[in-house]
Amino acid sequence: MYRRTKVNPMGFGELRGVRFNGINQLQLDDPVDKSDVCPIIVELTCNMEGREAQISSSGSKRGGATAGFTLGGVGWISNLIVYLIQVFNVKNINAAQIYNISNGCTNLFPVIGAIVADSFFGTFSVAAVSACISLLPCDNGSSLCTPPSKLQYAILYTSLALACIGSGGTRFTIATMGANQFNNPKDQGIFFNWFFFTFYIGSVASGTAIVYIQGNVSWKWGFGLCAIANFIGLAFLLLGNRFYFHDKPQGSPFTGIVRVIVATIQKWKLQYSSKIEDYYYGHDGITEIAATATPKKSFRFLNRAALKTDGDVGSDGLIAKPWKICTVQQVEDVKTLFRIFPLWSSSIFLGTPIGVQASLTVIQALTMDRHLGPHFQIPAGSILVISLISTAIFLTIVDRFLSPMWKKLTHRSPTPLQQIGLGHVLNILSMATSALVESKRLKIARAHHLQGQPGMH
């Protein structure tokens, strides 16, 4: 008969002969009868076996949802500049600004969607509502060669706002929900690989096929296909609802960050302590892992937030004053955010020129001879697909050739920071090349007196 020996941080009893392998995965050292094991553990095992069965049944539905949302979301924004110039009669510079704002919103809204999902409604609800919102945008272009009216602008901006919210709320919320179906980190990694594979395949398909239909058949057909793809993605998402494992909202992640900062300020005058028992590790007491060391010395001033003082912790071990005491783990989490902030903020400077270059590329493509033979012309909006294809090619080259070559020459693999730094250098070179090409183009346009012609501004 197995017996409990102590309480582990998960809240379940730890048993002799029983160990947790990975995340919530029960593993028995010896074959046993489940009737001899604590009922809580038996229930946990049965729940997890059922959950794994549900996962295997719902994989195709998640894949269908990802493909549908990608086709619909990328299809409308890939050709947005061309639509604004040719249908709405918007000037080139204004069309580029509208595109950049829309593109920025579709990359910002996933952050907001993730916060709302984690704090209040859960990933499934946010993804489903966002998918419904993405079906609402409408089209009311200016058919005459005149600037659009205020009403048309209002309809345009409303449609773009709804499309951005819908795309942002589904794009990576689906990824989080899918990864949460698995307990094994290896399985989660495999899921993310397939998710991004589906995402990029869908992006290429929408950036070529749907863009071609928009430019050569009908804009209404093109946008209609985007709506149909979104609807199919929503249908797959809803059909798989009964198979999904639904995570409960955990509360706003920013609350814990603010609590650590506020507690640190309130205890600013306290002296540091080297004793483990002076710090608060949680209501379960000092766990075996946490007891190996005191809080880390990096960003040491934040350690004050976990220092215990009179009245901070109740007799039951629970926090009595949540804005005056935090756990060591919460403090270390905030430290982690501080450490990655410079790296995260550098991506803003990396993403800004990439977004500007994308809009400039489409505008330049409108002035180019894009014919391949007498009967086929590459759509201007499809030019951006080249960046997706080249990214896939160069990722393969870096992973299979350059990294092994670097390792042979230096006897060590390139670090992630070195790879990021190289990416920044290449990004600088690409923008410098774009500036030189644009300067040359303008000189040619002025020399031939082409400034007033469409696309030559």
pLDDT tens for each residue of 346-362? 877 777 777 777 888 88
State both tokens at 124: 């499934």
Task: Tell me: do 392 and 313 sit in the same domain.
Answer: no
Average pLDDT over residues 288-311: 74
Task: Tell me: do 265 and 238 sit in the same domain.
Answer: no
pLDDT bucket at 189, cuts 50 / 70 / 90: confident
How far is the C-alpha of 378 from the C-alpha of 208, rounded, in Å? 9
The pLDDT score that the predictor gives to residue 9 is 34
Task: Tell me: do 359 and 439 sit in the same domain.
Answer: yes
Residue 145 has pLDDT above 60, yes or no: no
The angle at the Cα of 367, spanning 362 to 369, to the nearest 5 degrees, equals 105
Tell me which residue of 78, 123, 11 sits closest to 388, measured CA to CA: 78
Instruction: Tell me the per-residue pLDDT of 4-19, one tens digit each, with 9 for 90 and over.
Output: 333 333 333 333 333 3
Task: Tell me: do 316 and 415 sit in the same domain.
Answer: no
Task: Tell me: do 86 and 142 sit in the same domain.
Answer: yes
Mean pLDDT of the chain: 75
- The answer to whether position 223 is within a domain reads yes
How far is the C-alpha of 244 from the C-alpha of 442, rounded, in Å? 56
The pLDDT score that the predictor gives to residue 411 is 86
Query: Higher pLDDT residue, 25 or 104?
Result: 104
The pLDDT score that the predictor gives to residue 121 is 80
Q: Which residues pair with 26 in a beta bridge?
A: 20
Instruction: Tell me the per-residue pLDDT of 250-283, one tens digit each, with 9 for 90 and over.
Output: 777 778 888 899 989 988 888 887 777 778 887 6
Task: Tell me: do 235 and 91 sit in the same domain.
Answer: yes
> In sequence order, what DSSP letters do the residues of 141-180 get, joined into one string?
---SSSPPPHHHHHHHHHHHHHHHHHHHHHHTHHHHHHHT
Residue 29's domain comprises: 4-37
The pLDDT score that the predictor gives to residue 52 is 41
pLDDT bucket at 141, cuts 50 / 70 / 90: low
pLDDT bucket at 293, cuts 50 / 70 / 90: low
Task: Tell me: do 194 and 65 sit in the same domain.
Answer: yes
Task: Tell me: do 234 and 364 sit in the same domain.
Answer: no
The amino acid at residue 332 is E
Domain containing residue 238: CATH number: 1.20.1250.20
Task: Tell me: do 20 and 67 sit in the same domain.
Answer: no
Total structural domains within the chain: 4
Tell me which residue of 12, 16, 7 sits closest to 287, measured CA to CA: 7
The amino acid at residue 216 is N
Domain boundary among 196, 220, 243: 243
Instruction: Tell me the per-residue pLDDT of 432-446, one tens digit each, with 9 for 90 and over.
Output: 888 888 788 788 878
Domain boundary among 243, 272, 289: 243
pLDDT bucket at 291, cuts 50 / 70 / 90: very low
380 Cβ neighbours under 8 A, 6+ residues apart: 79, 81, 82, 215, 362, 365, 366, 370
How far is the C-alpha of 19 from the C-alpha of 233, rounded, in Å? 40
Residue 284 has pLDDT above 70, yes or no: no
Percent of the chain with pLDDT over 70: 79
- The answer to whether position 50 is within a domain reads no
The model carries a pTM of 0.67
- The answer to whether position 265 is within a domain reads yes
The pLDDT score that the predictor gives to residue 34 is 40
Task: Tell me: do 19 and 70 sit in the same domain.
Answer: no
State both tokens at 284: 């379960």
The pLDDT score that the predictor gives to residue 429 is 87
Average pLDDT over residues 69-80: 80
Phi, psi of 20 (to 5 degrees): -95, 120
Residue 395 has pLDDT above 50, yes or no: yes
The pLDDT score that the predictor gives to residue 385 is 86
How far is the C-alpha of 65 from the C-alpha of 233, rounded, in Å? 4
Task: Tell me: do 420 and 349 sit in the same domain.
Answer: yes
Query: Higher pLDDT residue, 184 or 135?
Result: 184
Task: Tell me: do 134 and 166 sit in the same domain.
Answer: yes
Contact present, 317 and 285 (Cβ < 8 Å): yes
Residue 21 has pLDDT above 70, yes or no: no
Residue 138 has pLDDT above 80, yes or no: no
